[in-house]
Amino acid sequence: MLNHEIDYQLYGEEMQFVEIELDPEETVVAESGSFMMMDDGIEMQTIFGDGSGQDKGLMGKLFSAGKRLLTGESLFMTAFTNVDVIKRRVSFAAPYAGKIIPLDLYELEGKVVCQKDAFLCAAKGVSIGIELQRKLGTGIFGGEGFIMQKLEGDGMAFVHSGGMVVKKDLEVGDTLRVDTGCVVAYTHSIDFDIEFVGGIKNTIFGGEGLFFAKMTGPGSVWLQTLPISRLANRILRYGRGPRKEEGSILGGLGNLLDGDGI
């Protein structure tokens, strides 16, 4: 294996963190702000790029860091290296309620595509780059835009999702239609496209948006039940004024009974 081989343990249910065990001289790279705790003997260093070794030289490092800006991430990542002579541990926490998904890139044929903000941490040597959507409709209407993250290598990587997570394994020709915001990650063999929701009533009154993500196998797809964008929109709706209880006739009465005005 070219990537550092790390051991890990997941803790928690709704608010998870991952504890990674590092042998002497092993390194894990993480998204800025994901660090939770670490043992003595671990050295922390801020780096440009992803530390995969593909960003050699100043221009290479600047290009690697620039790719991260396109995916909405920070210019910097943090590398945690065990400089002790015995095993040490470092832990990273998800930024919001949900699940952490461990991805063994060696078993997943070396590449996984994920949401722009899904990456949490990975063994040193894993390349964190950008994936440009090849189809115009996917880029414009896909919810995630033209640019997503890609994780390449043969080591462990960890991404996080909102709410519960489910993995769907698709055979050749199998198709799954999904809300665009619910897609966390998928293997590179999946054909990812966007499909228009037909029917004028569905378009105007459906409340689910105008487009589905169409995932066609073979390959694996990881889906989340609560995209952070959906949660943020709901919080904004409740914070802008009187509640409307999803259009319920009894909504106003319910607001009165629990002490809120209509």
- CB burial readout 172-207, b (16+ within 10 A) else e: eeeebebbbbbbbbbbeebebbbeeeeeeeeeeeee
Average pLDDT of the residues in 68-96: 83
> Would you say residue 261 has pLDDT above 50?
no
If pLDDT is split at 50, 70 and 90, which confidence band does 236 have? confident
More confident residue, 100 or 72: 100
Average pLDDT of the residues in 151-160: 94
> Would you say residue 18 has pLDDT above 70?
yes
> Would you say residue 207 has pLDDT above 80?
no
More confident residue, 5 or 9: 9
| H-helix or E-strand spanning residue 236 | helix 228-239
Lowest model confidence (mean pLDDT) among 42-46, 77-81, 180-184 = 180-184
* pLDDT number for residue 134: 54
Q: How far is CA 238 from CA 27, 101, 158, 228, 242, in A?
A: 44, 30, 33, 16, 7
Residues 158-193 have pLDDT tens digits of 999 999 999 999 999 999 999 888 999 999 999 988
If pLDDT is split at 50, 70 and 90, which confidence band does 29 have? very high
Structure-token pair, residue 132? 């440009």
Domains and CATH numbers, the chain: 7-241 (3.60.160.10)
In this prediction the pTM is 0.78
- Tallying the residues shown for the chain, one arrives at 262
For 221, counting Cβ atoms within 10 Å of its Cβ (0-12 exposed, 13-18 middle, 19+ buried), the class is buried
> Would you say residue 61 has pLDDT above 70?
no
Average pLDDT of the residues in 2-15: 88
Mean pLDDT of the chain: 79
> Would you say residue 249 has pLDDT above 80?
no
> Would you say residue 140 has pLDDT above 70?
no
* pLDDT number for residue 76: 78
Percent of the residues in the chain that have a pLDDT greater than 90, as a whole number: 45
Average pLDDT of the residues in 227-231: 77
